[in-house]
């Protein structure tokens, strides 16, 4: 190493250890067509003068820029149609979609929680997920409280698993009108399926919805079908005459009755005769079973003739009796829907109802926001006897 005064006073350059005069700190050199600044380099143990090109730092993108820089992919749905799906930009949503596609049950649970709490990310979630490769059979269980719907659902899961079907259960429970809480007792009755990876049980609160089904139930059913479950059992709250919305969600509606549940006139008032695809008389070992079956047959004979005549299946769900016949009736109805074209018509009608419900939900949210923020509109409400004028103002009818 040279012992010249210059070499001992100044650090070496990192370019071939050439020694020389200390350059200015603002010196700009042209290196391979790029402008680069020289400066002090502390990457080594001794302080050296560095003339390597300094890499430019990338300017961080704003959240708005990141949100709009999503990629897209092309997938094929169950009907053979090509659908372009956009990859989510949100880190949480991106991880959620990755877990969902990897069939991680936590990803499925978080996705259902997302739609249940009406999170705005739910729309991006559905845009990012691939359409189901096969339509799931959605079976709705409805009926009055105390008819044994939960026990019947548990028995149906057992027999469906015996046939090699993957099954998901959505059990909708009522919420307390005072505390808003719900006791999810259906999962307690289905503990024997807890360790089965091909069975998924989810409880949801009705959240005050009169029809017995929460608004997120339809989206949860779609998520379960996308996840890959071949059968989805939707058990409703069981609140009597309001229990009609299940027909707008399920492919096959099973009406569960029990001996002593009421006469035929009461069944007509409840409206369940029009929505039933299969009748189940549960607790068939109790007195009065024959009378209940006769009442159902009389009501069916009084009604109009239909292409599909709902069968009447007696069961004792607590012992698993008659559940095989019930599953056979459900599968026969599925074949009827496929061969007659009624299944496609029901799916279209279901999409129309869901679209109308979404429009209503968003409109109510926008109206409440307008009423909170518009002081003039609130004053108008106080001075009017009926809120028709305020409603017309919100809808811009006047």
pLDDT for 312-371, tens place per residue? Answer: 999 999 999 999 999 999 999 999 999 999 989 988 988 888 888 888 888 888 888 888
Q: What is the pLDDT of residue 218?
A: 86
Residue 298: band (very low, low, confident or very high) from pLDDT cuts 50, 70, 90 = confident
Is the pLDDT assigned to residue 204 strictly greater than 60? yes
Is the pLDDT assigned to residue 180 strictly greater than 50? no
> What digits encode the pLDDT tens for the residues 49-92?
444 445 554 444 433 333 333 445 555 555 555 455 566 678 88
Q: What CA–CA distance (Å, rounded) separates 234 from 103? A: 21
Q: What is the pLDDT of residue 274?
A: 78
Class of domain 137-340: alpha beta
- What average pLDDT does the segment 92-108 reach? 93
Residue 267: band (very low, low, confident or very high) from pLDDT cuts 50, 70, 90 = low
CA 88 to each of CA 98, 113, 115: distance values in angstroms, whole numbers, following the listed order: 10, 18, 16
Cβ burial, residue 388 (10 Å; 0-12/13-18/19+): exposed
At 321, is the secondary structure helix, strand, or coil? Answer: strand
Is the pLDDT assigned to residue 36 strictly greater than 50? no
Question: For residue 135, which of 248, 252, 254, 229 has the smallest C-alpha distance?
Answer: 229
- Phi, psi at 198, each rounded to 5°: -95, 15
Q: What CA–CA distance (Å, rounded) separates 247 from 336? A: 16
Residue 263: band (very low, low, confident or very high) from pLDDT cuts 50, 70, 90 = low
- What average pLDDT does the segment 129-138 reach? 83
Q: What percent of the chain lies above the pLDDT cut of 70?
A: 65
- 154 and 162 in contact (C-beta within 8 Å)? no
């Amino acid at each position: 190493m040279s012992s010249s005064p210059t070499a001992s006073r100044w650090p070496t350059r990192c370019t071939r250890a050439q020694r020389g005069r200390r350059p200015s700190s603002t010196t700009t050199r042209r290196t391979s067509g790029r402008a680069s600044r020289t400066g002090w380099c502390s990457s080594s143990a001794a302080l050296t003068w560095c003339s390597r090109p300094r890499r430019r730092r990338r300017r961080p993108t704003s959240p708005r820029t990141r949100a709009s820089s999503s990629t897209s992919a092309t997938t094929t749905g169950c009907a053979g149609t090509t659908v372009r799906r956009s990859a989510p930009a949100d880190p949480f949503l991106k991880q959620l979609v990755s877990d969902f596609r990897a069939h991680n049950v936590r990803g499925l649970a978080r996705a259902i929680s997302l739609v249940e709490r009406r999170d705005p990310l739910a729309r991006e979630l559905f845009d990012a997920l691939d359409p189901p490769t096969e339509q799931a059979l959605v079976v709705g269980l409805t009926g009055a409280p105390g008819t044994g719907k939960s026990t019947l659902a548990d028995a149906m899961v057992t027999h469906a698993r015996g046939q090699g079907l993957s099954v998901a259960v959505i059990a909708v429970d009522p919420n307390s009108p005072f505390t808003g809480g719900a006791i999810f007792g259906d999962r307690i009755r289905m503990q024997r399926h807890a360790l089965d990876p091909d069975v998924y049980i989810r409880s949801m609160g009705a959240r005050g919805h009169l029809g017995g089904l929460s608004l997120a139930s339809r989206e949860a059913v779609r998520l379960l079908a996308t996840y890959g479950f071949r059968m989805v059992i939707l058990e409703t709250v069981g609140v009597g005459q309001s229990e009609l919305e299940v027909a707008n969600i399920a492919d096959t509606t099973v009406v569960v009755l029990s001996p002593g549940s009421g006469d035929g006139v009461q069944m007509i008032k409840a409206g369940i005769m029009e929505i039933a695809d299969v009748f189940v008389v549960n607790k068939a070992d109790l007195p009065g079973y024959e009378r209940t079956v006769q009442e159902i047959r009389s009501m069916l004979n009084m009604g109009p003739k239909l292409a599909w005549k709902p069968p009447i299946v007696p069961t004792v769900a607590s012992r698993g009796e008659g559940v095989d016949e019930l599953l056979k009736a459900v599968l026969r109805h599925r074949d009827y829907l496929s061969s007659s074209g009624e299944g496609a018509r029901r799916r279209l009608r279901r999409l129309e109802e869901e679209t109308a419900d979404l429009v209503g939900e968003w409109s109510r949210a926008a109206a409440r926001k307008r009423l909170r923020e518009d002081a003039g509109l609130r004053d108008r409400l106080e001075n009017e006897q009926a809120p028709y004028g305020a409603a017309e103002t919100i809808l811009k009818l006047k």
